[in-house]
Chain A
Amino acid sequence: MADKISTRQAYGNTLVKLGAENPDIIVLDADLSKSTMTAGFKEAYPDRFFNAGIAEANMMGMAAGLAFSGKTVFASTFAMFAAGRAYEIIRNSIGYPHANVKICATHAGITVGEDGASHQCVEDLALMSVIPGMTVVHPADGVSTEKLLRQVAALDGPVYVRLGRLAVPVVYDEGTGITLGKAILAREGSDHTVIACGLMVNEALQAAETLEKEGISVRVLDMHTLKPLDEEAIVRAATETKSIITAEEHSVIGGLGAAVASVVARRCPTKVSMVGVQDRFGQSGKPEELKKEYQLTAEDIADAVRAADAEMK
């Protein structure tokens, strides 16, 4: 299980398989196919791949037009230019008319690394989640990426899939049952619950391992689908464990932490601590250095759990 694969690579691999199964799948990219990994699909199905050039807004508009002509469209670029630059086109031409477009955005979060803040999108989950009818997915590893993408492809409607640049450990067995909209109980525990998404799931599992040795039992939920959110899993965590710690490679404003806190506040008031980007822009650096700088490591999660545990004793 020590294998590593980036979720963007898993996306590229899955896309080639989906292309063989569904002739209505069309893939668009904005001059980043070798980075978003749509290049594999382009090679396999050149007639169904279209480069939009460095024009993300038009890529999203074309994606809507293709979708309303019966195609299942996958449109890829970096998260910054999908959710950021093309936001209003996604909102008005894809979200509002509920187009069957899968926006698969790679290089999300600060682990983009050396490119720095202009390319490190930590706002995309917030921007996409606020669009009515948009499904928002952020897988943790290669296995869950493929399993979730298959369900995303079968869904009729707009979906935002957040993918990473960095190779990350494979967390799940091929046999793990993974369902869109249902949190994965990645580890059972009874004292506190860490609810994580993306590469923070692996960090949360490591933190739980460390804390087990200190006598703190931690449940880990992989909340790969931020919308629609698995509220029941959150309510169970809030009622069965003492507190919730969220962990995301995204701003704590408008992302997983905010979504979980909203459910908890409405349904089962409980302490929620948030590990995530604290209202800051990113910067250049190596991914592992940046994870430390922005306090997004297993140790940071463990510290948050310890603090909550001490406070609640």
Chain B
Amino acid sequence: MTIDRNYLETMAAKVRIDIIRQIHAAGSGHPGGSLSAADILTYLYFAEMKVDPADPDRKERDRFVLSKGHAAPALYAVLAEKGYFPVEELLSLRKLGSMLQGHPDRKHIPGVDMSTGSLGQGISAAVGMALANHIDGSTGRVYALLGDGELQEGLVWEAAMAASHYGLDDLTAFVDWNGLQIDGKNEDVMTVTPIDDKFRAFGWDVQIIDGHDFDQIAAAVEKAKTVKGKPQLILAKTVKGKGVSFMENEAGWHGKAPSEEQAKQAVEELGGEW
């Protein structure tokens, strides 16, 4: 499959700028894990998923569940850029009365398929959605994005077991493998590796890719669609804080807002104007 790499890279830069602007305006939020997930989300919404911002609830649509709900600014950015709601609304993130809650709220935000934020729960709901597609013979696919730290939640493995038990080949889950969580490196907090072998042992098809390379993301998503009888895991090696020099690979930027000076530098590094 051929992809328009320039278009996707330009869009991903916009999404990253949106992320920085949102979190700076909110004064709190999670930039590190939003930036690491930005390319995967950009690919799904701008090159892959059958969704229609004019008809967000269409039954036979592809669905996306942000299981690592704290990356909400990345999801809100792609939804706004896709046309689900005005880009200007992004600056209301985390403010009283805004639909853009700190973590995704499906009741109020068009295009959000599941309310998430409590780790482990999104993938479980995604399994239910994929199961519904099977029951209905629907052509829709279900995508989910998990964090690597999130894999420490037992519920993830209950869901992983169920997805393979039911043979949910319409479910593709990404792990945003940036290696860092709030308290530090995954292996210092609670070892999650080997992630690939764990999912294989649970009956999943597993691919490992560079989560910032659109060609690799595209190839993995295409291959996943050909897998029959199994859910698919795309283990995406990523860089926490990707695209902003002073945030990259810094656990300290998991859940902290940039100052005005830092936000300006970040936006400029991403090719935007402050």
Tell me the A residues contacting B by CB distance below 8 Å: 26, 47-48, 50, 52-53, 55, 57-58, 60-71, 88-89, 92-93, 96-98
- A58–B129 CB distance below 8 A: no
Closest CB in chain A relative to B238 CB, distance in Å:
25
CA distance A92 to B133 in the complex (A): 23
Closest CB in chain B relative to A144 CB, distance in Å:
30
Given known A-B contacts A55-B161, A58-B162, A97-B106, A69 and B128 have beta carbons under 8 A apart: yes
Closest CB in chain B relative to A29 CB, distance in Å:
13
Q: Which residues of A contact B133 (CB under 8 A)?
A: 69
CA distance A48 to B134 in the complex (A): 11
- A57–B127 CB distance below 8 A: no
B118 at the interface (CB under 8 A from A): yes
B125 at the interface (CB under 8 A from A): yes
B39 at the interface (CB under 8 A from A): no
Tell me the B residues contacting A by CB distance below 8 Å: 59, 65, 105-107, 113-115, 117-118, 120-121, 123-133, 135-136, 154-155, 158-159, 161-162, 165-166
- A92–B115 CB distance below 8 A: yes
Q: Which residues of B contact A69 (CB under 8 A)?
A: 128-129, 132-133, 136
Q: Which residue of B lies closest to A73 (CB)?
A: B128
- B118–A68 CB distance below 8 A: no
Among A50, A60, A67, A97, the most chain B Cβ lie within 10 Å of the Cβ of A97
19 contacts between A and B (CB under 8 A): A26-B132, A55-B161, A55-B162, A57-B124, A57-B155, A58-B159, A60-B124, A62-B125, A62-B128, A65-B65, A65-B132, A66-B129, A69-B133, A69-B136, A88-B118, A93-B114, A93-B115, A93-B121, A97-B106
- A68–B113 CB distance below 8 A: yes
Q: Which residues of A contact B118 (CB under 8 A)?
A: 88-89, 92-93
- A58–B113 CB distance below 8 A: no
Closest CB in chain B relative to A281 CB, distance in Å:
25
- B124–A58 CB distance below 8 A: yes
Closest CB in chain A relative to B178 CB, distance in Å:
24
Closest CB in chain B relative to A256 CB, distance in Å:
29
Closest CB in chain B relative to A251 CB, distance in Å:
26
Question: Of A26, A55, A89, which contacts B121 at CB under 8 A?
Answer: A89
Question: Of B105, B107, B124, B165, which contacts A65 at CB under 8 A?
Answer: B124
Identify 5 new A-B residue pairs, CB closer than 8 A, beyond the known A60-B124, A65-B129.
Answer: A50-B166, A57-B155, A65-B130, A68-B128, A97-B107
Q: Which residues of A contact B105 (CB under 8 A)?
A: 96-97
CA distance A14 to B162 in the complex (A): 27
Given known A-B contacts A50-B166, A53-B165, A89-B155, A62 and B127 have beta carbons under 8 A apart: yes
Which A-B residue pairs are the 5 nearest by beta carbons? A65-B128, A61-B124, A69-B132, A58-B158, A62-B128
Q: Which residues of A contact B113 (CB under 8 A)?
A: 68
CA distance A98 to B130 in the complex (A): 19
